[in-house]
Chain A
Amino acid sequence: MNRLNQLFDTKKEPILSIYFTAGYPELNATLDIAEALEKAGADFLEIGFPYSDPVADGPVIQESSQRALNNGMTLNVLFDQLKDLRKRVSIPVLLMGYVNPVLQYGVERFCAAAAEAGVDGVIVPDLPMYEYEELYRDCFGKHGLSNVFLVTPQTAEARIRKIDELTNGFIYLLSSSATTGKNLDVSVTTESYFSRIRDMELKNPAMIGFGISDHRSFQKAAQYTRGAIVGSAFVKILGASDYLANIPAFIRSIKEG
């Protein structure tokens, strides 16, 4: 059982996860940001490794990815930075990114390096379930990594069941079918979708992501699931010059309003 499973087993309050892109706004800021987030009260982290063609992302994360690449971020650089991860950060950490950099790094080598660094899980939105199950599941399992799949309002029930079976961590519920950085619009349809998933009584806990940007949307998400993931709204505040100093106030604004 890794840190992520433990968190979901023990935490009673709504869980807040924060996404940020490694290498943005500065190449070597990764662990400073991670440490500041833990101190400010984030429950777990998703560290994005940048990709040149992030089709699931909206403008904010695209821009941060491009800036990170321009700054020189690569998987090699990231794993080098993560050597000190567990000296500075104790909350669960997942790596999130697109499949091609992982394939070029080598899936086995990627899993080994992630485990070595003390990473708890991986989210690769464009890695298909079929390929994961046939080719990579054993590798992830061997290294104790949770693999997290996304679910949208259009995902069919049988497929959600299959995802639940293949996942060992949590299920990443998208608030709507959208690229990142849109605001959560809680309509009757969204609520019925969240309730539908809740009523399926899946073995994995669920978190809501995409469109969570403030206390109101965080609270709404926590009514239906264990908590929520904030990405674009956080990446936006990293654009300011004193970004580390702004982190505590940001986390407070999400958790407490």
Chain B
Amino acid sequence: MSYHVNEKGYYGDFGGAYIPEMLYPNVEELRSKYLEIIREPGFTAEFEALLRDYVGRPSPLFLAGRLSEKYGAAIYLKREDLNHTGAHKINNTIGQILVAERLGKKRIIAETGAGQHGVATATVCALKGLECVVYMGEVDIERQAPNVARMKMMGATVIPATSGSKTLKDATNEAMRDWINNPENTHYIIGSVVGPHPYPDMVARFQSVISEETRWQLKEKTGSESPDYVLACVGGGSNAAGMFYHFLDDPKAKLVAVEAAGKGVHSGESAATTALGKEGVLHGSRSILMQTEDGQVVEPYSISAGLDYPGIGPQHAHLFKVKRAEYVSATDDDAMRAGLLLARLEGIIPAIESAHALAHLDRMTFTGNETVVVCLSGRGDKDLATYMKFFGL
């Protein structure tokens, strides 16, 4: 079975490009050129050099000793939190800015939830001297003020999305509207493995460096490139897509995706898409999304702004449906406690998004011999105010 996109832009039943005609020329231009562009030797060389010298890759694979001792398994953290700008998001924006340059685009737009993708986009735009406009939900602008300041400092214009829930979903709508109104000079850097084909595939390819490195790092450290478990959190699913990519065809590796259950999966305040969603179309692709019986998109909730999204990427919907990966969830409380635990045991403050993946360790049972890799997708600096408030620190 193939877990990758087919020539029609589908992963099994999911994917495609459900877009209005106004977006067709832009998306089609990208679809017809992206593979050719990213396979050019010049592209690969520049991409790799920037990942090494600018982002700081390879990111370390760290054996978390005290955490391993607590859970009774060898737990490795893939340290995407140590990347420049503090999360995995930069892997994708570096790739896409190079694509945009080769397409001759002069203006970059992006949506952002927690602000990590917005910062990563503002960063590469500054690096390349391109105009940058970032759409961000009004609610997220308030809860992620430091990231808004970072974007502005690097010269980006941050435009608040004031419709709907005023979070990531609405920021994405606004970015799509901008692209419709700017059909020629603009490239839209989508931050997750969502959107119309070819975005889910393109973003997954740029993020796949995470699992590519993990395999050789594991081989060096353990003698085997195959772990027993690979864990990652999922909002739209970009760090998970990158973390899973080179393990998809490795039958030994059990893949676990952790969604945000908010105040409880069935509390009415949750973002646990696979548990609550149904098949449908959101933001240009057929996938699984949280929606009413009438097909209206339901406002999600999570304490973590980066997981506060009502859908998942189409590849995840496929991996869920064919059961190649297990989709579970962790509540706000579980994630916050897991974040604090990592800080206390390992001296690492994780992003609340990543803490959702860590929280699932509590529900797993180990015999003592397993190797587990957790994608530590981002650092928790941006979440300090939330941690302080939650724990009364």
Residues of A within 8 A of B (CB): 51-56, 58, 62, 66, 69, 74-76, 98-105, 125-128, 130-131, 149-152, 154-156, 159, 174, 177-179, 182
Contact = CB atoms under 8 A, between A and B. Distances in A.
A66 B21 contact: no
A172 to B, nearest CB: 9
B22 A152 contact: yes
Contacts of A56: 20, 22, 177, 180
Give the one of B25, B169, B180 with max A CB within 10 A.
B180
Interface string B280-315: 111110000001011111000000000000000000
B21 A102 contact: no
B24 A75 contact: no
| Consensus secondary structure, chain A interface | loop
| Chain B: interface size category | 20 to 34
A188 to B, nearest CB: 17
A225 B103 CA distance: 34
17 contacts: A53-B173, A55-B173, A55-B283, A100-B295, A101-B295, A104-B293, A126-B18, A131-B16, A152-B21, A152-B25, A154-B24, A154-B25, A154-B183, A174-B22, A177-B25, A179-B180, A179-B181
Contacts of B169: 53
A177 B180 contact: yes
Given A53-B282, A151-B21, A152-B22, A76 B294 contact: yes
B19 interface: yes
A126 B22 contact: no
A182 B19 CA distance: 20
A199 B173 CA distance: 35
Contacts of B69: none
Of all A-B residue pairs in the complex, the 5 with the closest CB atoms, nearest first, are A104-B295, A101-B295, A177-B183, A125-B20, A74-B294
A155 B24 contact: yes
A178 B21 CA distance: 10
A55 B297 contact: no
A100 B281 contact: yes
Given A55-B176, A55-B180, A100-B281, A127 B296 contact: no
A185 to B, nearest CB: 12
Contacts of A130: 8, 16
Interface string B30-57: 0000000000000000000000000000
A66 B170 CA distance: 13
B21 A51 contact: no
B17 A128 contact: yes
B281 A150 contact: no
Given A53-B282, A101-B295, A152-B183, A128 B22 contact: no
B278 interface: yes
Contacts of B101: none
Contacts of B181: 177-179, 182
B20 A55 contact: yes
Given A55-B177, A99-B281, A149 B294 contact: no
B250 interface: no
A26 B19 CA distance: 29
B21 A75 contact: no
Nearest to A172: B21
A53 B164 contact: yes
A177 B22 contact: yes
B21 A149 contact: yes
A115 B207 CA distance: 47
Contacts of B180: 55-56, 177-179
B282 A178 contact: no
Nearest to B19: A126
A248 B218 CA distance: 74
B21 A174 contact: yes
Nearest to B294: A74
Contact of B282 (A100, A102, A155): A100
A53 B297 contact: yes
B163 A62 contact: yes
A127 B295 CA distance: 15
B326 interface: no
Contact of A150 (B8, B21, B280): B21
B366 to A, nearest CB: 41
Contacts of A152: 21-22, 24-25, 183
B182 to A, nearest CB: 8
Nearest to A174: B22
